[in-house]
Amino acid sequence: MSYRKAVFAVCLRIGVAALASVVLVGAMSRSAVADTFVNVDSSVSGPMQLSVLGSSYVGGQWVFDLQAVNTSASPLTNVNWVQQFVWDETGAPSSIAALTWDNVGQDWISDIPSDTFALTSASSPYAVSYFPMSSGITLHSYAQSSPYVTPSASVNSSDSLPAVGLGNFSGSETKDFTIYCSANDFTPAVTGYFVAAVPEPSTLALFVAGGMGLVGYVWRRKRAT
């Protein structure tokens, strides 16, 4: 066997093993593939933008129709919309109450008045989960604009906030989704931010190795024909 054939034979073996590992990793939980996230929201100069298409209060729950847009040409992996703040604007503009996240009850609560607000579900195929702040995302400092009060919300770094997993976004892709929230009869203002997964270096290395194997395979096919 020539030196060149020996090199590509090795690359092919490495590639097959790497691709098998990628399949195995993909079958594991998504958090195991990429458990570090980064803010990709437009509020921090990121590409993801959120638009509110409409809202309504029906049968004791709030319904928000939302639209997520990747404004860049680059794809994003495992995008989540994380609900970080909720405000009670029933008394606006004279008063705006900040709700505090209750990590045990998994809802937002307010003492004055006694309001509760929980993100319960999302339109199919999307689902609500609880996103750990410890994953590396930044808690935004957000102040609801009002001439009377600037409330602040309370969230701990150890909390897990409600989120909607939107999956992968290709460049310039748009996705519409709806969230359903249980709430007392008050007017809420909901603020969320987009985060996306940062692929682990080991996962990237597997894909590179897999690419080497494919190159070796294609080369041998061409030689055979």
Strand partners, 122: 179
Domain boundaries, the chain: 1-32+200-225, 35-198
Cβ proximity of 117 and 108 under 8 Å: yes
* Identity of residue 197: A
Q: What is the pLDDT of residues 135-150, one digit of tens each?
A: 766 666 554 444 434 4
d(CA 143, CA 182): 24
* Interatomic CA distance for residues 189 and 202, integer angstroms: 41
Give the tens place of pLDDT for each residue, 167-182. 999 999 999 999 999 9
Does the pLDDT at position 36 exceed 80? yes
Cβ atoms < 10 Å from Cβ of 145: 6
Question: Tokens 């969320």 label which residue?
Answer: 192
**Helical H runs in 50-126?**
none
Q: Quick one: pLDDT at residue 178? A: 97
